[in-house]
Chains A and B, each alone.
Chain A
Amino acid sequence: MHMSDALISPSVFAATSAIAIALVGIATRQVSRTTRKRSIDTPIEEVREQRIVPLMGVMGALIFAAQMLNFAIPATGSSGHIVGGILLAAILGPWAGFLTLTSVIVVQCLLFADGGLMALGCNVVNMAALSCLVAYPLVFKPLVHHSSSALRWGAASIAASITALTMGALAVTIETEMSGITALPYSRFILFMLPIHLLIGLGEGLATAAVIAALRRYRPDLLHDAEYSEPKRRSFIFAAIIALALIGGTIAGSIASTDPDGLEWSIERTTEGKELAQHQSTMHQGAAETQQTIALLPDYNTTLSGIIGIGATLAVIYSLSLLLRRQ
């Protein structure tokens, strides 16, 4: 699910970062509004909202730790780890959950280079925003309320997780396609990503459901109180439709994928055609043009000798740096 810097173009970086920064800004304001809503004199137990600072901190650490522990995905023989968006939103509420999951993604990016700095915006949007700010309020919340049966909580977790993961996968393919780094055709990519993420979403949903079941047994008060009022009938239907559409669409798509040509959408055709044309122009007739713009595509010798030359130069720089360090 993590996107990598290597597959992202600067324009996609700019767009997704802008979205991510804006969302973090809004979330920050939402969260600090609850922490400021206090009087200094009130004893701590009376101001639940103000516990949010350490609660977010340790819940982030919890998700981080939980991701280290794999669970077996039923019937597949493989194992996976949780993303945790729905779980965090269910405990902290959507905005604090979003901020917490974002912080987890940032730490993974900074410490373990999962994804990368340029891909950070993409990853925040794909994983944190789509699960906490879209799937949670649109699918999870309308489906459950305090007196719902355990089965229904489980079903809501699974529906919301699958929604979050497939939407995330969809976003990954769109961002990758718009970056234009990979030559992988969009339709293939999407047909490869969606079914896999449907399964991953199922695993995520089961895992989320299992934790929520444990919480409901021992500490029902921890599930973001008050939020789960009686759901409105309309939003319930809406949530069900979203979840069903995504799941159904993915399944239909993967069945259709046995005949990939039948599913080539017109959009892909046009973009793909353009790309191809571009390549041909640069490759075959492009020699003259490129010379004018200071060798947009260097001639073949230049490329090879360039690579060798740079390699040698870097080796020299590297050994110099080694020498410098010894002193």
Chain B
Amino acid sequence: MSHHFILFEEIHYGYTADNEVLRGVNLQLEHGEKVALVGANGAGKSTLLLHSIGLLTPTRGRVVVGDITLSKRTVAQIRQTIGFVFQNADDQLFMPTVEEDVAFGPTNMQLSREEIEERVASSLAAVGALSLRKRSPQQLSGGEKRRVAIATVLAMGPSILVMDEPSAALDPRARRELIALLKDFRHTALIATHDLAMARELCPRTVVMHAGQIAADGPTEAILNDRALMDRCGL
């Protein structure tokens, strides 16, 4: 009975029945697995990710994280299990200093002051951003912002990481550093991305989404080499 997996079961989401964003998504992640989620813009990647931590509620279907079915009563617990890294780091870093931002999650978890301090230091160290702790997010470069955004999530001690476009808008060097960083993580991870090269490097398994459904699911190499599939899904 491991906590380290996510199950999306027959997820439907949309404002009207005939115009659904998600049309019956089934996806399961095993313990320790790193999965890339690829697909054209509007395929429903971000929408699916938002379902994992209950920021969106499916019109039909259910989400299970570990043994827990996502519901109003369990959402707080699930948000501690899953760390969500948003696409735009500026939206994630809203506090005046890096340090306070990283402490935001642990403080909301009502940990003791020493524990918070410990988590801030260790999670910043984990992304190699300890020297930035007194800085303000405004002063950081794109790559630094991204790493700090990941630290804010690590500070909550999640066992699963869900990331939306982590390598978007990074310069080549910052991107390489990010990939190296993510490679070291042992977390179960679900990464939505357009960066196929990164998917190849990081994730043994790739899931392709197309028009609100899963179009393909399998080993990354096989999927990325399937030209017909890639074309059909706008990749």
Contact = CB atoms under 8 A, between A and B. Distances in A.
B76 A43 contact: no
A236 to B, nearest CB: 35
B72 A43 contact: yes
Contacts of A40: 76
A44 B57 CA distance: 9
Majority secondary structure of chain A interface residues (helix, strand, loop or mixed): loop
A10 interface: no
Interface of A: 39-45, 54, 57
A42 B73 CA distance: 8
Nearest to B57: A43
A222 B74 CA distance: 31
10 contacts: A41-B73, A41-B75, A41-B76, A43-B57, A43-B72, A44-B54, A44-B55, A45-B55, A45-B57, A54-B94
Given A39-B72, A41-B76, 19 more contacts: A40-B76, A41-B72, A41-B73, A41-B74, A41-B75, A42-B72, A43-B54, A43-B55, A43-B56, A43-B57, A43-B72, A43-B75, A44-B54, A44-B55, A45-B55, A45-B56, A45-B57, A54-B94, A57-B94
A91 to B, nearest CB: 19
A177 B56 CA distance: 57
Majority secondary structure of chain B interface residues (helix, strand, loop or mixed): loop
Interface of B: 54-57, 72-76, 94
A303 B74 CA distance: 76
A39 to B, nearest CB: 8
A57 B76 CA distance: 25
Nearest to A39: B72
Contacts of B57: 43, 45
A42 B54 CA distance: 9
Across the A-B interface, the 7 shortest Cβ-Cβ residue pairs: A41-B72, A43-B54, A43-B57, A41-B73, A40-B76, A44-B55, A41-B75
Contacts of A42: 72
